[in-house]
Structure 1
Amino acid sequence: MRSKVTGAQRWVVKIGSALLTADGKGLDRNAMGVWVEQMVALHEAGVELVLVSSGAVAAGMSRLGWTARPSAMHELQAAAAIGQMGLVQAWESSFAEHGRHTAQILLTHDDLSDRKRYLNARSTLRTLVELGVVPVINENDTVVTDEIRFGDNDTLAALVANLVEADLLVILTDRDGMFDADPRNNPDAQLIYEARADDPALDAVAGGTGGALGRGGMQTKLRAARLAARSGAHTVIVGG
């Protein structure tokens, strides 16, 4: 697997809400700065990068003083609208410190299910990558409804990997990776270093849902790996 990672030319990197927020107290700018340094180093080595960033709802909740994720759609959308402003500004300023430009792209299910819009999105992303710009992608939470939302940015990241024909999908998580049992409940749980995405045994060990601020979990990461594999991309699930 190491050779597949080092040989990958185009990466999609997904960072979730749990990593981007400082215990629910807004965006963790220090952590974001560290990831930007690492991504810039990859950029300088010739790697083409697309960033899929969660965190808009969590950032908006912090600005509004909310401690629990709301269930009402209009409240989620309001939090996303407020938080997306700060999220994209934080990424832009961090990358700008290293002389890198970023571009915000908000996607919906319709954008990727409609052929014309899919091709337009692909063309735009390819152009940005060719220009050396780092696209920062998030789901457009302000306009989606519960029936059509991606449900988590793991799925969105996999669809983006297919869209840009990425070689590698990197999903950063607040766990060390995927284990053969839940390490929170089983101290003997072993880290799975490599497996085929279609291995049915993985379904049994990918139980559980996301944290309080996010919508993902290991199940969605496994699903994302399988989606990405359809276009030939390898997936790395690693602690951030």
Structure 2
Amino acid sequence: MQNKRSITANRIVVKVGTSTLIRQNSKINLSVIKSLARVLSNLKKSGKDVVLVSSGAIGVGMGILGIEKRPTKISRQQAVAAVGQAELMQIYNEAFHEYGVSVGQMLITRDIIDYPESHTNVMNSFQELLSMDNTIPIVNENDTVTVSELDHHTKFGDNDQLSAIVTNLVDADLLIMLSDIDGFYSANPLKVPDAELIQRIDTITPSIIAAAGGHGTKFGTGGMTTKLKAAELILKHNQEMILANGKDPDIITNIMAGEPVGTLFSKY
């Protein structure tokens, strides 16, 4: 049995991916959201600061609108995201209210990094929300404003990187990234049966980058490469990140208890 980790995080960012929130039949996974609300509510009530970065707006919108294939047209993606975001927040609101916790929606764009006034406004909002009892900010990119061109100044690129940026912005101790995989493997475990789960990574080396690859589900945009980019940003700012499987959000409780689940990205 592996040794327990020493997790002393007081401010935690949790990122949940589309693959965790949306089933393969395009239906939203309500049981996961309810469990997530319970676990995060317990964390908040225990005295921790909690921020949730949630993907899923386009995936939820696709389900509501009966769209099988993720749209390629930018304006179509934005419209689908607008429908999905409203539904997603309503579901989160109801789920967290079951545990006496309120949620605050924060839809942000990359200009919070480039423009001091935008940065100040967002930071003020974060600090006020985090200081409130029984309130958790839920963050997503403002898909109705941003566009997908990589050089556009309003676009984060993906919610993996967004979650790392938010972790840095709010000076969090730990980013817990929940995905549909148990952690970072030495190779793609779907293609290489004897691929090994790497328990700890302290530097993003060329060999680590080479082991990553591929894109996410038809509903999302993330893949292991974007998670490594997020981890690189986390390590750069001397913070910690754990990549773990989000099919059962109770894994967050295990992580906070020091159980050696997932892959820990840390210099310590």
* TM-score bracket, shorter-length normalisation: over 0.9
Equivalent residue for 1:49? Answer: 50
Equivalent residue for 2:249? Answer: none
Equivalent residue for 1:226? Answer: 232
1:2-13 pair list within 5 angstroms: 3-4=5-6, 6-13=7-14
Task: Quote the Cα distance in structure 2 between the aligned partners of 1:19 and 1:131.
Answer: 28
How many aligned positions are there? Answer: 239
Task: Quote the Cα distance in structure 2 between the aligned partners of 1:72 and 1:179.
Answer: 34
Equivalent residue for 2:146? Answer: 144
1:123-134 pair list within 5 angstroms: 123-132=124-133, 133-134=135-136
Equivalent residue for 1:87? Answer: 88
Provide Cα deviations, 1:86-133, integer angstroms capped at 9, x if missing partner.
Answer: 111111111110000110000111222211111210111011011131
Equivalent residue for 2:164? Answer: 158
- Gap regions ≥5 residues in structure 1: none
Per the TM alignment, residue 15 of structure 1 is displaced from its structure 2 partner at its CA by: 0.3
TM-score by length of 1: 0.95
C-alpha contact (below 8 Å) 1:24/1:58 kept by paired residues: no
Per the TM alignment, residue 24 of structure 1 is displaced from its structure 2 partner at its CA by: 4.1
TM-score by length of 2: 0.86
Provide Cα deviations, 1:55-104, integer angstroms capped at 9, x if missing partner.
Answer: 00011111111010010001100100000001111111111100001100
Alignment root-mean-square deviation, CA: 1.4
Shift of the 100–197 alpha-carbon distance from structure 1 to 2, 3 Å rule, reads: farther
- Structure 1 residue 180 and structure 2 residue 186: aligned? yes
AA paired with 1:104? Q
Equivalent residue for 2:208? Answer: 202
Counting aligned pairs with the same residue, the percent is: 38
Shift of the 92–196 alpha-carbon distance from structure 1 to 2, 3 Å rule, reads: same
Task: Quote the Cα distance in structure 2 between the aligned partners of 1:85 and 1:141.
Answer: 12
Equivalent residue for 1:214? Answer: 220
- Gap regions ≥5 residues in structure 2: 247-268
AA paired with 1:137? V
Per the TM alignment, residue 3 of structure 1 is displaced from its structure 2 partner at its CA by: 4.1
Runs of 4+ in 1 over 6 A off after TM superposition: none
